Amino acid sequence: MTSVRNLLAATDFSDPSRLAAGRAARLASAAGARLHLVHAVSGSAMAKLEQLLGLESAVEAQLIEQTQQALDTLAQDLSTAHGVAVDCALLQGAVLDELTQEANRVEADLVIVGARGAGFVRHFLLGSTAERLLRKSAHPMLVVKQPPHEAYRRVLVPVDFSAWSATLIELARAVAPGAHLILFNAYEVPFEGKLRFAGVSEATIESYRLKSRRAASLQLQSLAANAGLRPAEWSPCIPHADPSQAIIEHEQALGCDLIVIGKQGQSMTEDLLLGSVTKHVLVESFGDVLVATSKNA
């Protein structure tokens, strides 16, 4: 991905989803991209409501009309505030399938959702719907947590030197072209605890740590060079730590407002759910999280 041309923002009209729509509009404005705003009405939920309340078809039509009006109003507000072209679509059916199909139809380069909200995104970060959507989707997904007051300034990019790494840098540059990238690799000495238990001296273990850090540093430099990053455009961050917690700690310490992370790490395969590190980052991060869903994005 070298540029962002089509963005799809899913809204349920909650405050968190409005933050997501605002971020999507800001990104569309900066990139000269088209914004597609969608709301999905659950077919099964509507059927249950009809069964419970005995609603007549006229009442159902009124509910759909009111929802369409709310969607049109939000689209117009975004267009006016950010000077972007906004298409909107009211979808009806199985929410997961409808969103996936619509993202495919508009050839979305990025799908943007709120971190929490009503309906299908009420428990987005912990819900199975989100995991299935990320697992199924071929589109990168941006989970918005913070108000979109300004463009992204500092982006934390955790890499493990797997096939994801180059994709993450490319995606970060496409979504946050003016931001400073911090390439992050948390390293650990293999079997460090067992080495200590076996009586290996701390000095020897420390020498292993230094070797591991040097190797990681060289790999980061090579990765940055291959990505075409100039020295002023990026910084390395190589802590000796477990990556899950270290990513969150350094997000705050380094003042990052976006984390760009792969769906899986080098030990994961395509048919599994989100990797444990990605799950942890989605739940615990303070800023927005952009999840790459394809190594060849």
The dihedral sign for the CA sequence 14, 290, 229, 138: negative
Nearest CA to 1 out of 178, 243, 168, 233 is that of: 168
Q: Enumerate domains of the chain plus CATH numbers.
A: 6-144 (3.40.50.620), 154-292 (3.40.50.620)
pTM confidence score: 0.87
The dihedral sign for the CA sequence 162, 291, 126, 147: positive
Q: Strands 288-292, 180-184: parallel, antiparallel or unpaired by DSSP?
A: unpaired
Q: How would you write the pLDDT of the chain (297 residues) with one tens digit per residue?
A: 668 999 999 998 888 889 999 999 999 999 999 999 999 887 555 555 565 556 556 667 788 889 999 999 999 999 999 999 999 999 988 888 888 899 999 999 999 988 864 443 334 443 445 556 677 777 899 999 999 999 999 999 999 998 889 999 999 999 999 999 999 999 877 677 677 777 778 788 778 888 989 999 999 999 999 999 999 999 999 999 988 899 999 999 999 999 999 886 444 444 344 678 888 898 889 999 999 876 544
CA gap 268, 80 in Å, rounded: 43
